């Protein structure tokens, strides 16, 4: 007798056996219990679901709530100002921006570990309280970097009620205001970076026109001079030091 004739019966047997085993165990998949103090605790399944959701949103959180946006924009503008389209590559710029972000955000991460993660792992704090505590260091960091006019704009758009202190601002109003301020700051730094390289381009173009070499692209001649200038002034150290100090770090 062919083995394929037994496949449907084998599948049916496994299905019935699995159903009976599931019914016998009766695992609580998603439960929410309330203790004597009124605090709610979630089952392991719900906690794992929440952790997986946070991991999925982690890239967006890194972009929206840390120093990453300002740093990567400044690096991109710097590469454009020098005139090199693909050097350094996007992977290198993102890697440098990521590790510089970790360097800048290290005090914030340490506060999150002390006030939220460590008590939660020691089972001294509920997940909801740990999440609220973890948001406080990020809130303080974003408030320090957010301009008041940007914050007032989004409070007005959200019809947010007047607050006595900045700590009372809603978190979902603070994040877009922080992003707007970061974009403005990044472009201001990028504008200052563009000026010396723009001067070199103008000088080279004027020299070429005075020599009648109008068919020769000024970018070809100015690129080595811009690279030489950037190396002579130790440009990478200056850029990274300026970016780090722009977040209030004493270097």
Q: What is the mean pLDDT of each run of 10 residues along the chain (251 residues)?
A: 46 42 45 52 59 68 82 89 81 88 87 79 74 81 86 82 75 86 90 87 80 72 82 85 77 51
Instruction: Give 82's contacts (C-beta < 8 A, 6+ positions apart).
Output: 197, 223, 226, 227, 230
Gap between the Cα atoms of 47 and 119, Å rounded:
16
Contact between 138 and 108 under an 8 Å Cβ cutoff? The reply is yes
Q: Would you tell me how many other CB atoms lie within 10 Å of the CB of residue 180? A: 17
pLDDT the model gives residue 17: 40
Position 47 scores a pLDDT of 61
How many beta carbons lie within 10 A of that of residue 234, not counting itself? 10
Predicted confidence at residue 225, as pLDDT, reads 83
Report yes or no: 108 and 145 within 8 Å, Cβ to Cβ.
no
Which pLDDT score is estimated for 249? 59
- Can you give the pLDDT at residue 40? 52
The pTM (predicted TM-score) of the whole model is 0.71
pLDDT for position 3: 42
Separation between Cα atoms, residue 112 and residue 123, nearest integer Å: 16
């Amino acid at each position: 007798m062919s083995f394929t004739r037994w496949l449907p019966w084998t599948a049916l047997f496994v299905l019935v056996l699995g159903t009976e085993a599931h019914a016998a165990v009766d695992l609580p998949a998603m439960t929410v219990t309330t203790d004597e103090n009124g605090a709610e605790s979630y089952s392991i399944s719900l906690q794992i679901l929440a952790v997986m959701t946070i991991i999925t949103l982690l890239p967006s959180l890194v972009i929206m709530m840390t120093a990453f946006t300002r740093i990567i924009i400044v690096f991109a503008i710097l590469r454009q100002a020098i005139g090199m389209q693909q050097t350094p590559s996007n992977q290198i710029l993102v890697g440098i921006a990521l590790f510089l972000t970790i360097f800048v955000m290290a005090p914030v991460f340490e506060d999150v570990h002390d006030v939220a993660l460590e008590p939660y792992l020691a089972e001294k704090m509920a997940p909801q309280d740990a999440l609220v505590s973890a948001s406080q260091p990020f809130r303080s960091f974003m408030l320090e970097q957010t301009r008041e006019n940007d914050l007032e704009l989004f409070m007005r758009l959200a019809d947010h009620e007047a607050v006595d202190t900045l700590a009372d601002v809603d978190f979902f109003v603070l994040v877009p205001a922080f992003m707007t301020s970061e974009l403005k700051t990044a472009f201001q730094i990028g504008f200052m970076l563009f000026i010396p390289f723009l001067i070199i381009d103008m000088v080279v173009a004027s020299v070429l026109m005075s020599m009648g070499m109008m068919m020769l692209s000024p970018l070809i001649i100015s690129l080595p001079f811009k690279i030489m200038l950037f190396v002579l002034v130790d440009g990478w150290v200056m850029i990274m030091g300026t970016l780090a100090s722009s977040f209030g770090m004493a270097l």
